[in-house]
Structure formats: C-alpha cells, structure tokens
Amino acid sequence: MKKFVWMISLLTALSASLVNAAGGYKIELEPAQNNLQDQDSLQRGAVHFANYCMACHSVKYMRYNRVARDLGWTDEEVLAKMAYGQNKVVDIIQTRMLPETGLAVLGVEPPDLSLMARLKGTDYIYTFLRSYYEDDKGNWNNHALPGTSMPNVLESLQRQMSEEEFAQTTRDIANFMEYVGEPAQLKRLDLGWKVIAFLLFLLLLTYLLKREYWRDIKH
Ligand code: HEC
C-alpha cells in the first residue's frame, strides 16, 4: 500500500512538472478558465469565430456537420450561424479570404487555426486576443506577439462591452479553439468518469477476491 501511494505521488509530481515545462512564453499568460463541457460557451465561441475570425482564418480539419453534431446544432442551424447559408454541411471550414489577399494586404498568410490551441495552448489564445494595446504612435501592437500583423479584430467589441462581457467573449472563442484542436475531447470527458467509476468498482472486486483467496492461509 505504501509503495502504491508513493508511486501515485511520484506520477502526479512528474505530470505537473511536464505541464509547467510546456510554457516558456515571454509574458504571463492569463488562465482562460474555459470549460469544454459548457455547450452554450462553445456555441457562442463558434458564432464569434465565424463573425470575427473566418474572414482570415480557416479550420481546415473541421467540417460544418461535425461542429453541428458536437455542439448540439442541426445541419441547418450550423450553416445559418456560421456560414451565412453559403456552404454545404459537408464542407471544410474555410476562410472567406482568397490566399493571395492575406499575403498582399497583411504581409503574411494567416495560419490555419485547427491545431493552434494544441500548439500554443488555450491560455495563450485567450491572452493573445486580450493583449492588444496602442503604442506611442497610435498603432496597435500586441504584448503576446510583438509586431504581429494580425489587426486588433475585436476592438469594436471590446469598446462596446463591459470588462466581464469581453472576458467571456474571448473565453468562448478560446474554448471553441480548444474544442477544434481536439474534438474527441468532448466525448472523452464524458466517457472518462464512467471509466474511472468502472475501474474503482473493479478494484473493490479484486480486493474482495484477494481476501477470499487468502482467508484460510496463514500469512
Ligand atoms: C484581418 C485578418 C485576421 C482576422 C480577422 C483574424 N486574424 Fe488571427 N491572424 C492574422 C494574421 C495575419 C496572423 C499571423 C500573425 C503574425 O504572424 O504576426 C494571425 C495569427 C493568429 C494567431 C496565431 C498567433 C501566434 O502566436 O502565432 C491566432 C491564435 C489567431 N490569429 C487567432 C485569431 C482569432 C481567434 C481571430 C478572431 C477573433 C482572428 N485571429 C482573426 C489575421 C487575422
């Protein structure tokens, strides 16, 4: 038993240090405090993404019908909310921008965001969206990505909203980005506790069985 406890604490310590080692950003990241099981938040995030990000970014590993199925929308709803009725549900979520335009107007091609949350972390996306500031010359810059060529696309929203509302909006977008990075997470979270409950039940059974086997043996 002692050994078991010792092993568990070692594993916990190890995984915690691995998570910490994944950081390495120059600025302190704000925790997004998003929740993948909050379906309303994911739906809001998807709509904001369509309205404020898809002008430049795509998520080419996702199709509209997958988003619909995972976020609790019908096929018609997902098209109405995210594609202004312009796409088919089997279509990949593509940016509305032509490839040459990004390069010509912004100087870089805006990256596909399918795996961005996996690459940089949900907290990073949340922080990045909230780190725009006006420099001395009145130009927008970003503390998280200095000199970025991405404009401050949420500026008007931020001006209209209270601080809490803007925090929620950026949290919803980060939440949607995390979901898009690993859609299977939603199912896994749901399955996870059932598996744990089953394993605990199995542990109990094996323990009782062990007691039964050793009952008549002196040890
Ligand atoms: C006007 C075009 C445009 C829009 C709209 C836009 N982006 Fe971007 N985005 C860019 C460009 C260009 C880059 C590349 C920036 C760079 O490398 O400096 C970028 C980069 C990013 C990155 C990667 C940052 C990094 O550290 O490399 C993220 C994350 C991102 N955008 C998220 C979003 C989200 C979320 C939205 C919607 C709220 C959005 N973008 C809307 C143009 C845009």
Residues 145-178 have pLDDT tens digits of 999 999 999 999 999 999 999 999 999 999 999 9
Write down the domain spans for the chain: 25-211
* Residue 169 CA to ligand 1 centre (angstroms): 16
d(CA 112, CA 131): 21
15 confidence band (pLDDT: 50, 70, 90): low
How far does residue 173's CA lie from ligand 1's centre (Å)?
Answer: 12
Mean pLDDT computed over 187-215 = 92
Q: Is 25 in the pocket of ligand 1 (CB under 6 A)?
A: no
Identify the CATH class of 25-211. mainly alpha
Pairing of strands 132-134, 92-93: unpaired
Task: Among 21-35, 83-97, 117-131, 156-170, name the one with the lowest average pLDDT.
Answer: 21-35
Q: Which of 26, 29, 57 is the best mutation target for the ligand 1 pocket, counting ligand atoms within 8 Å of the beta carbon and taking the most? A: 57
Nearest residue (by CA) to ligand 1, atom 40, is 53
Mutual angle of helices 75-82 and 64-71, in 10-degree steps: 110
106 lines ligand 1 (CB under 6 A): yes
Atom of ligand 1 nearest to the CA of 106: 12
Give the SS3 label for residue 63: strand
Contacts of residue 157, defined as CB under 8 A and 6 or more positions apart, other chains included, come to 52, 166, 169
Closest CA to 49 of 1, 89, 11, 81: 81
Q: How far apart are CA 31 and CA 135, in angstroms?
A: 25
